[in-house]
Amino acid sequence: MKRNWIIISLMLLTMPMMSQNRQPQVVDKVVAVVGKNIILQSDIENQYVQYRMQGMTEGTGQEVRARILEDLLLQKLMLNQAEMDSITVTDEQVDAELNRRIQRFVSRVGSQDKLEAMFGKTMAEIKEEVRKASKDNMLQEQVQMKIMENVVVTPKEVRNFYNEIPKDSLPTIDPTFEIVQIVKRPPVSIDEKLQVKDRLYQIRKRILDGESSFATMAVLYSEDPGSARQGGELGFAGKGVYATEFENVAFNLRDGEISDVVETQFGFHIIQLIERRGETINCRHILLTAKVPIEALERAQNQLDSVAQLIRNGDMTFEEACKKYSDDDSKNNGGFLSNAMTGSNWLSIADMQQLEQEYPEYKNLAFVISRLGVGELSDPVPMTTSENNDAFRLVMVKRKTEAHQANLKDDYNLIQSWALGQKRQATIGKWVKDKAAKAYIHLDERYKNNDFYYDWNFQ
């Protein structure tokens, strides 16, 4: 499990490649050359600042910078190999990936304004800086996939890996929980939906009549925080990114055309096509959502109060109540809430806290679960569904594993992932040794005493 810090997966966030106007300026110089690709001192410093900003404390400044340098060397070597193998990505693919990343960044920090303030740049400037990093990342991922395509671990390899770990070095596994839920999703009334659709049609009419532009109306009225401040613009994307109903309309619009009202799981939209490039489109949209009435939410809460009483009195098992009363698809598997990262039914508190950053249905779940014992049923608690609608649910801890030292019986999947990671790392090591012997790699003399993990054959 040595050297697990290195970014073997190469799933770059690309933001660390950007400079922030708050960080101190460094005198830039070329630190390394890999084929036609260079690594600058500022590349290392920018990523070091991002590493510390994310709360990472492992390693001294010198050690962290050495690790960052080796990761950059690996990335540049993969870029060099992509060129040797004639691997390419299209502008449309880059645009689609760029906009997906930007949308994730905006969602993560809260708004476009906050993102711009963080880096002291306009959105256009941020996109320009991130574009090359996005393209490089996509090329690196293709090289990595080729390297890893046949790397698997057998059960025997997993056992051997586990047996080679000194028993006093086995990590402690945090408590994990199997969680079941009964969800009441109050329906949005027909009247509310009709009112929202009517509002959108009025907005559409004002745009068509020339009273205002689509972008201005999006800023004023759209309820999509990720795009509203950009005039509703979503950026270039191919099929499979948006809801099916949205795509069926958007991909059939002509440049500048504005759609009728479109309903998806997220609400009601009107869409304007800005530009089409090959198999990708760039469009604007205005999103309005129909809200669940307060009265309906109160009824849902009261219904779950009654259901909880039935379960606590022993008049109905949780499974029976879940199947009869839950409005969530999880009722088909006993109400189990799955871990969106692993696909299993086991979640740690850390998992829940991480998942709530991207999935609304996990929000505040860690707070509720941390106060429940095994078999204990919660009171009705508010939640947000994956469609961003308000709802209520009952949750119960079905089973719990206590903190324990890792072992094959209880933690096979986790140990398997460690063994696979080690094998992938060894595969990368062999690949680096082979390719570095054939490529031109020059490193500044000041850095040659670094304790590198791979054999780089510096020239």
Model pLDDT for residues 271-311, shown as the tens digit of each residue: 999 999 888 899 999 999 888 889 999 999 999 999 999 99
What mean pLDDT do residues 434-448 have?
Answer: 91
Reported as a single tens digit per residue, the pLDDT across 134-179 is 899 899 999 999 999 999 999 999 999 999 999 999 999 999 999 9
Note whether 176-187+292-402 and 190-288 share their fold.
yes
What mean pLDDT do residues 238-262 have?
Answer: 91
Cα 282 from chain centroid?
A: 22
Closest to 240 in 3D by CA, of 230, 232, 251: 251
Per the structure block, which two tokens stand in for 330?
A: 């999880």
The most distant pair of C-alpha atoms in the chain lies apart, rounded to whole Å, by 77
Domain regions of the chain by residue span: 15-155+409-447, 176-187+292-402, 190-288
Least confident of 75-79, 370-374, 399-403, 449-453: 449-453
DSSP per residue over 383-414, as a string? EE-TTS-EEEEEEEEEEEEPSEE--HHHHHHH
Q: Which amino acid is at 141?
A: E
Closest to 154 in 3D by CA, of 430, 427, 425, 412: 412
| Sign of the torsion formed by the C-alpha atoms of 405, 410, 412 and 417 | negative
What mean pLDDT do residues 348-366 have?
Answer: 90
CATH fold, domain 176-187+292-402, is Chitinase A; domain 3 (3.10.50)
Average confidence score pLDDT of the chain = 87
Residues in the chain: 459
Per the structure block, which two tokens stand in for 370?
A: 């941390």
Instruction: Give the CATH architecture of domain 15-155+409-447.
Output: Orthogonal Bundle (1.10)
Gyration radius (Cα) of the chain, Å: 26
Domain 190-288 class in CATH: alpha beta
